[in-house]
Each structure stands twice: as structure tokens, then as C-alpha cells.
Structure 1
Amino acid sequence: MLMSLLPGFRHLRTPFAVGALCGFQLWILFGEAVPARNEADGLLKRIYLLSDVVGRPVVTAVIAFALYLVGDVMRISWRRIAKLNWIFLGELALVTAESMVGLKTHALKAFQVRGVTDPDANRVVMLVDNIQFEFPEIRTRLIAHNADIYMESDRLDAEAEFRINVAIYTLSLWVVLAASWSPWCLFGIAASLVLYVNGVSSLRAANGLLVQSIISEFVTSRYFEEERQEDEASEPNSGAPIVQPLYRPFTLRPNSGTTHEGGQPSSGQ
């Protein structure tokens, strides 16, 4: 039973941690504006009276639930993390160099099956990027094909999301503490940066498991299959279903010139 509950707890902690960090910063900035019990009136007074009726544990649970809701809205997914990383730090590699080599080698098989020995480099890069964009769906498919790999990848992905989100929201916390208390708190930014690096390492480890699953053919990418079957789909009398062209929702290589926002291919493809 505990093993079945662990994935749920993993995905609860990030929203709650983000909500708690946001709430704590708001309390530091505006806590003095909240009147005490003997000074409250209106809605705030009724909330104080409600705590007397239901008890502090219930009020604490309600506050925790509210923090969770706020955190779930404020938390940053890995796709948004990749975009934010590009804005502030440059392109974020979602996999290690070794995994990228294996992924490119696997992508080339889609062309080799069709007899294309020298495929267009931009098309190969686009296929690799599409497979990376499909990682969340590939992880879900592992539930049916290999639950152990799914559990380990999901654990690492949850660790990455937790660490990166906490790192991002503690950056503003150190600034708030420095403005409200002491400038020495700015040294905490170093801890946030270390936490961010550790989160990126966990993300790459989680994606590395997915890459190995794809290479070992535990699961397959639909983009890979579409590319592999493209010649069959282009033959009008083959009887094969028409496969839609590759769709690339966004690119993590803004300077590659391979695609545009919205998945429309450039003239070079």
C-alpha cells in the first residue's frame, strides 16, 4: 500500500512546497498588516471565531490546502523550465551528452529502414527534438511495458521538479529576507543555484532512463514511427494510412533554424 501511495506523495510535495514558500514571503512582506484577534473585524473576525469552533488543526488543514492550490498554480513544469532557462542561462540540455548520442543513433534508424543513407541533418535534429518533447507520454507508456523503469523515472522526474521549483522560489525568498532583515541573506542565492543544478541533473537522469527504454525498444516514439513509415504513407495505392507530418510544438534550439513556433517547418526542411 505504501508503494502505491508514494507516487502520489511525490507529486503533492512540489505544489505544497511552492505554496508554502510563496505564502511565507507574503507573510514577511504584509504580515504586519494583518490585525490581531482582538483588533479584527468583519470577515477576518469571523475566521478567528471559526477557529474557536472547529479548532486549530482544522484551520491548519484548510491553510495547507490553500497553500497547495496556490503552489499547484505557481509550480513550473519542465517545459516552462526549459524556456525560462533559455531566457536567463541559455539552452537547457534535457539529456546528457551520452544519451543524446544514443538518441541520435536511434533516430537515424528511422531513415535507414527506408533506405535513406544520408538523411538531411535538420530533419534528424527535428526528429530528436520531437522525441524529447514526447518524453512525458513515453514515460506514461512505460506503465504498461515496464513498471519498474517507470517508477524510477517518475521518482527522478519528481525530484527534479521539486528541486528546481524550490530553487527558483527561494531566489525571491533570499531577496525578500535581505530587504526585510539582513543583506547577508543574499548569500542564500548560492544554495538555490546548487539546488537548481542538482534538479537539472535529476531531470537528465530521468530522461536518460527514457532514452535507454526507447533504444532498447521497451517503448517506441510515435514521431519515430511516423518518420519510419513516411514512404508507405506517401504511396497512394499502398493501402497504408496517411501519416500526418512531423509536428514540433516548440524548439529548444532557437538558433538552429529548423522549426518555428507552432510546429511549422522552415524552408530548409
Structure 2
Amino acid sequence: MLMNLLPGLRELRTPLAVGYVWLVTIWLCAADHLPSRDSATGVFASLYKGIGRLDQAALIAVASFCAYIIGSTVAVKFVRTAPRIKIPAIRAWEPWRTEAPKVSWDARQDLKAYAKSAIHGISFIDARRAPSSILQDRRTGRDEAVFEAMEATLMELDHLRFQLMKASSELFSEHDRHAAEADFRCNIAIALTGLAAGLSYFQTPAFLIILPAAWVLFRRGIARAVECNDLVVQALVAGEISSTVIEARRGTSIPAQPSEE
């Protein structure tokens, strides 16, 4: 029963926590600008009366509901894309960068070997030991079919996730756990950045000290998102799931065998 509740709790955790951070940010930034209970009129007077009629449990429930609504509105999914950062200057300097979801170097090398073994009809071990790098292939034009197959496969990671959910509930549960952690860390980091900006503007610039912690938390969240993509790639290489892109190209570059006379 607990395992059935965990996915729902993961979905609830991120928007609720993010919403609470934004609620605290709004309250701390606007507290000095709100009228007091005695001088409040109109809408603010009605709010004070309504709050006064609620007990502590009801106040927590109302605050949690508001936090969830705010968090659900501003929270962003990071695992579904995890793209490379789009900076025009960097893209002009590094033209080999693509818009495919980001994976680690090891996972990319495994995917390259998997695509090469399928397209060229060689073993995975032989393909993995190939000395040429992805960058050299791209610049010199060698193994262009492998490079294109890799990028197209990475672009269909969302489709592969659905396959993983059907093929292995254990692996998908691990993926879902990492994905929830990645979304949580990244969204909390963004909310903390807003908190630091608001407090530094309305209170004192000393609150900018929160920014380094928020940046570290964001980077760790992106690292978790990359781990999620790596898990899908490893499931593909292990044969748990299959890529329609690579399967369509399987054996297309196998050299013709000389005929025996």
C-alpha cells in the first residue's frame, strides 16, 4: 500500500514545498506594506476577520491549499527535457552542440556503441572500444549515420520512458524517484532565488547570500535529471526497451561480403 502512495506523495511534494517558499517570500516582502488589523479596511478587513475565525488546523489547511495552487502554477518539469543551455555565443563557438536531452559522457559512449553495433553489424564490445570520439565523427564526417541515430534516439527519450514503464516497473520506479528529486531540487532552487531577490530588495542585500546555495541545489537537480536520462539509455543498451530509430537503421551499413567463386 505504501508503494502505491509514494508516486502520489512525490507529485504532491514539489508543488507544495515550492508554493510554501513563494508564500513566505510574498509575506516577508509585503509584510511592512500591509495595513495592521486595527487600521485595515475593505478586503484586508474581511481577510483579518476570516483568519480570526479559523483555528490553527484550518489555517494550515488553507495555507497548504494556497501553497499547492501557487506551486502547481510555477513548478517546471526538468526531467522530460533536461536540454543543453541555449546561449547563442556558446552555440556559435561550439557548433556540434545539439538540442537533444543531456546525458552523461559514459551513457553517451554506451549509446554510441549500441548504435554503431546495430548499424555496422559489429559486437557491442568492439564498438565500445572504437577510438574515435563523437566530436571527431561530427567534424570529419565519419560515422555520420551513427551520430544522427544517437541524436534522434535521444530526442525520443519520452517515448522510451513509456516503454520502460511497461517493460520494468522496478526500473521505472527508480527513474520516477530520481525524476521527482530532480524536479524538487530545481524548483526549490528557483524559489529560493526569488526569495533572495525579494528580501535583498525590500530588506537588505545581505540576503543575496542565499544565491550560492540555490545555484548548488539547482546544479544538483540537473545532475539528477541527467541520471534519469542515463537510466533510460542504459535500459536501452541492456535490451529492456528498443529504439525505433536504431531498429530502422539496423544493418544499413554492414559492408558487403565478397562472393565466393
- Structure 1 length as normaliser, TM-score? 0.71
Distance 1:207 1:214 in 2: 11
Q: Which residue of 2 aligns with 1:139?
A: 161
Q: Which residue of 1 aligns with 2:128?
A: none
Distance 1:51 1:29 in 2: 20
Q: Deviations over 1:25-78 (max 9, x none)?
A: 222222233333333333343344334555442343233222212222212222
Instruction: Tell me whether 1:191 sits opposite 2:213 in the alignment.
Output: yes
- 1:99 is displaced (CA, Å) by 0.4
Q: Judging changes above 3 Å, is the alpha-carbon distance between structure 1 residues 56 and 110 closer, same or farther for their aligned structure 2 residues?
A: same
Instruction: Tell me whether 1:148 sits opposite 2:170 in the alignment.
Output: yes
Instruction: Tell me whether 1:166 sits opposite 2:188 in the alignment.
Output: yes
Q: Judging changes above 3 Å, is the alpha-carbon distance between structure 1 residues 80 and 204 closer, same or farther for their aligned structure 2 residues?
A: closer
- 1:186 is displaced (CA, Å) by 2.0
SS of residue in 2 equivalent to 1:203: helix
Q: Judging changes above 3 Å, is the alpha-carbon distance between structure 1 residues 126 and 32 closer, same or farther for their aligned structure 2 residues?
A: farther
Distance 2:213 2:152 in 1: 34
Q: Which residue of 2 aligns with 1:103?
A: 111
Of 147-156 and 190-199, the range deviating more from structure 2: 190-199
Q: Any stretches of 5+ residues in structure 1 without a counterpart?
A: 232-269
Q: Judging changes above 3 Å, is the alpha-carbon distance between structure 1 residues 89 and 36 closer, same or farther for their aligned structure 2 residues?
A: farther
Instruction: Tell me whether 1:176 sits opposite 2:184 in the alignment.
Output: no
Distance 2:142 2:25 in 1: 51
Instruction: Tell me whether 1:76 sits opposite 2:76 in the alignment.
Output: yes
Distance 2:170 2:220 in 1: 23
Q: Any stretches of 5+ residues in structure 2 without a counterpart?
A: 91-96, 122-136, 254-261
Q: Report how many aligned residue pairs link the two structures.
A: 227
Q: Judging changes above 3 Å, is the alpha-carbon distance between structure 1 residues 42 and 179 closer, same or farther for their aligned structure 2 residues?
A: closer
Q: Which residue of 2 aligns with 1:57?
A: 57
Q: Judging changes above 3 Å, is the alpha-carbon distance between structure 1 residues 53 and 179 closer, same or farther for their aligned structure 2 residues?
A: closer
CA contact (8 A) 2:178 2:225 kept: yes
Q: Report which of the two structures shows the higher radius of gyration computed on alpha carbons.
A: 2
Q: Which residue of 1 aligns with 2:230?
A: 208
Q: Deviations over 1:61-114 (max 9, x none)?
A: 23322221222221222267636x33499679721111000111222345336x
Q: Which residue of 2 aligns with 1:94?
A: 102
Distance 1:152 1:80 in 2: 18
**Which structure carries more relative contact order (alpha carbon 8 Å, separation 6+)?**
2
Q: Percent identity, aligned pairs only?
A: 28
Distance 2:71 2:248 in 1: 38
Amino acid at match of 1:95: V
Distance 1:81 1:25 in 2: 27
Q: Which residue of 2 aligns with 1:23?
A: 23
- 1:124 is displaced (CA, Å) by 3.4
Q: Which residue of 2 aligns with 1:11?
A: 11
- 1:228 is displaced (CA, Å) by 4.2
Q: Judging changes above 3 Å, is the alpha-carbon distance between structure 1 residues 97 and 34 closer, same or farther for their aligned structure 2 residues?
A: same
Amino acid at match of 1:184: A
Q: Judging changes above 3 Å, is the alpha-carbon distance between structure 1 residues 50 and 177 closer, same or farther for their aligned structure 2 residues?
A: closer
Distance 1:67 1:88 in 2: 36
Distance 1:228 1:97 in 2: 23
- 1:5 is displaced (CA, Å) by 0.9
Q: Judging changes above 3 Å, is the alpha-carbon distance between structure 1 residues 14 and 137 closer, same or farther for their aligned structure 2 residues?
A: farther
- Structure 2 length as normaliser, TM-score? 0.72
